[in-house]
Chains A and B, each alone.
Chain A
Amino acid sequence: MPEAVSYFFMSWTSPYLLFLTAAGTFAGIYVGAIPGLSVTMAVSILISFTFKWNVNEALALIAGIYLGGVYGGSRTAILLNIPGAPAAIATALDGYPLAKRGEAGSAIGLTTVVSVLGAFIGIFALAVGAPVLSNLALLFAPRDYLLLAIWGILLVGSLSGKSLAKGVFAGALGVLIGMIGLDPMTAEGRFTYGSVQLTSGVPYVAAMIGFFGVSEVLAQLHFLHVTPVKQDVRRIVPPWGLLKKHLPLAGRCSAIGTVIGALPGAGGDIAALMAYDHARRTTKHPSRPFGEGAYEGLVAPESANNSAVPGAYIPMLTLGIPGDAVTAVIIGALYIHGLKPGPMLMIETPHLFWFCVGNLVLANLFLLPLGLSGIRIFAKIVETPKAILLPLILVLSAVGTYAIENNPVHVYWMLAFGVTGYFLKMYGFQVGPVILGIILGPLIDVSYRRAMISAADEPLAFLAEFFTSPISAILVAALAITVLSQTRLWAATVGRLRRAPAT
């Protein structure tokens, strides 16, 4: 235990780590706030720069950016009605009407405080829940990992886009890309076509930067001429009465956010929308009707999306399964640093876990003062024209991709993935499941084959095991519900149940 405490406070007592966490949080707020710059994009670009650092330093910077970035999206959502990040889409619904009433200052203040509160609740759940889940994870058989990985891709594919088929396609494409290279079990080449380059697989940092960075830049070219509106902000620190009134709602939504964050694949954007929906259904007397500047409509998504951040760390640190797109990128980083995310991580390197928890607490503490200040300068930076911003993002992407192996070929990969991602995006496919597929593909491959081999290559015995083991059966049920909830039959049944009089 004393060791855990010392690792918990490691980033608090080292001036350099303290600085990196603060710098990360600060940078995250701005990255998150600038429309077109997403946290996922920033983290994937940064991963390639920090891979020569030691792992604690890289994690400190990334935790700050992640937490700050998810929060930062709310600022532009409130001030400009442009969500800076997908997690802030729900925030704009009531945040912008508040700004139009001249209450942007108190809206930002309240948002900051509930975001910090939400993240603390999520961190608490991480500290308490992860060790428990980690013990449970040791009981997981390969087929359970297979189910978890497929469930993660499906969740993100079905919840984030409009069409389940498109989400499934994107996920399967990712898995296929993840298969390229030498088979880890037999060292046979797959899709390598005699190329030596391809035997080591597709460089996934290039894929991440291509799909999240370059494709986004190309898509943003369609919105070059959207001019931002100026806003007036004076009073920032929210009055205690306003805060106290919304504490119970913030607590409930943080719980929702933590759980959604902890589900594989689903992150802050979905957590925020579900929390907003929860607030709309449970608040009987909102301060104003929802959609017209209700503070409830601000508190709910903002406490939820920040609590989803530590939530997403839970499956990442215990199972090696990403909780959302950003943690998928962080898992990639952990591999680069020679660590193997999975159930053995907490046993072999418990210090890493307590370091992450302590570091998240620290980043969250920085979020409060940083979130309540600098709004004026902020307004200036957000007004940077896209014509200036987009070429700069591209240079960063190219350098980031190049830096991994000093290999110009990776930059070509990046552009190829970027252009592919652009077309997928334009035709309504999500790129998130592709990346999740690339990261989870090898896990799916190995888990599936181990499970099949342990069933003596008998498909029937293999299938039977999914229903005889309790853990597998629960996961199968979760998977089935995810798929069924996307069908018309389900929507019709739920609609009928809702309409039926409650007796």
Chain B
Amino acid sequence: MTPPERRLPGELAFVLFLLLFGATALWQATSISGLGSWSSPGAVPMLAALVMLVSAARVALATLRRPPAEVPSGSSLSREFAHALLPRVVVAFTLLIVLYMFALEPLGFVVSSLLFLVAGMWVLGSRRIVYNVVVSAASLAAIYVIFQTAFSVVLPAGVLRGLL
């Protein structure tokens, strides 16, 4: 028999969080309409939350039985977690998405998307800047034309209002 797989860094914490989440959901669901009736608006939310709680408990038990995550000497669990689950590129790209979301309305679709694409490609390791800009601009033009004409989606114009 193969030995059980080691836990991933942060896996136990995540599963315990899910357990807590299930319990909170159950508590919140009981406050919808109480326990008075079997067909109340809160019945299915309570059942769903109960199922979440029970299955999360099973997952937690199974996770506890597995050997803990490997932490090489000189490292720590949080560092291993960052390495395996949140490598720098994931964090950077996610932050970029957040910036892009907030820029979407004020800057408009074209400008914010162009900035996001060029920066995103660079963050993901494509270091040919001119190439990135050309590819971004060309695909944005295609997206813009297709969406405005074929799909009649109104995209925020932002700073280019009046120009497009």
Interface of A with B (CB < 8 Å)? 49-50, 52-53, 163, 165-166, 168-169, 172-173, 175-176, 179, 183, 185-186, 188, 190-191, 214, 218, 221-222, 224-225, 385-388, 390-392, 394-396, 398-399, 402-403, 406, 408, 411-412, 415, 419, 422-423, 426-427, 441, 444-445, 448-449, 452-453, 457-459, 462
* Residues in chain A near residue B44, CB distance under 8 A: 175, 179, 441, 444-445, 448-449
How many cross-chain pairs have Cβ atoms below 8 Å apart between A and B?
163
B75 to chain A, nearest CB (A): 19
A394 in contact with B15 (CB, 8 Å): no
B interface, size bucket: 35 or more
A412 to chain B, nearest CB (A): 6
B101 in contact with A395 (CB, 8 Å): no
The majority secondary structure among interface residues of chain A is helix
The majority secondary structure among interface residues of chain B is helix
For this complex, 9 residue pairs linking A to B, each with C-beta atoms less than 8 Å apart, are A169-B18, A169-B59, A179-B44, A221-B89, A387-B121, A392-B139, A403-B155, A448-B47, A449-B43
**Would A176 and B45 be within 8 Å (CB), given that A169-B56, A398-B100, A411-B104 are in contact?**
yes
A399 in contact with B147 (CB, 8 Å): yes
* Residues in chain B near residue A166, CB distance under 8 A: 55, 59
B32 in contact with A399 (CB, 8 Å): no
Kindly state whether residue B137 has any CB partner on chain A within 8 Å: no
A16 to chain B, nearest CB (A): 11
A168–B49 alpha-carbon span in the complex (Å): 11
Return the chain B residue nearest A448 by Cβ.
Answer: B44
B124 in contact with A399 (CB, 8 Å): no
**Would A168 and B94 be within 8 Å (CB), given that A224-B89, A387-B124, A452-B43 are in contact?**
no
Q: CB within 8 A of A173: which of B47, B52, B152?
A: B52
A172 in contact with B51 (CB, 8 Å): yes
A-contact 0/1 string along B127-147, CB 8 Å cutoff: 000001001100110010001
Known contacts A166-B55, A399-B153, A403-B151; 13 further A-B pairs (Cβ under 8 A): A165-B62, A168-B51, A169-B55, A169-B59, A176-B25, A214-B97, A221-B124, A386-B124, A395-B143, A423-B14, A449-B39, A457-B37, A459-B38
A186–B37 alpha-carbon span in the complex (Å): 14
A-contact 0/1 string along B40-62, CB 8 Å cutoff: 01111101110110011011001
B46 to chain A, nearest CB (A): 10
A394–B93 alpha-carbon span in the complex (Å): 10
B89 in contact with A52 (CB, 8 Å): no
* Residues in chain B near residue A390, CB distance under 8 A: 93, 120, 124
Return the chain A residue nearest B15 by Cβ.
Answer: A427
Q: CB within 8 A of A452: which of B28, B38, B121?
A: B38
Kindly state whether residue B72 has any CB partner on chain A within 8 Å: no
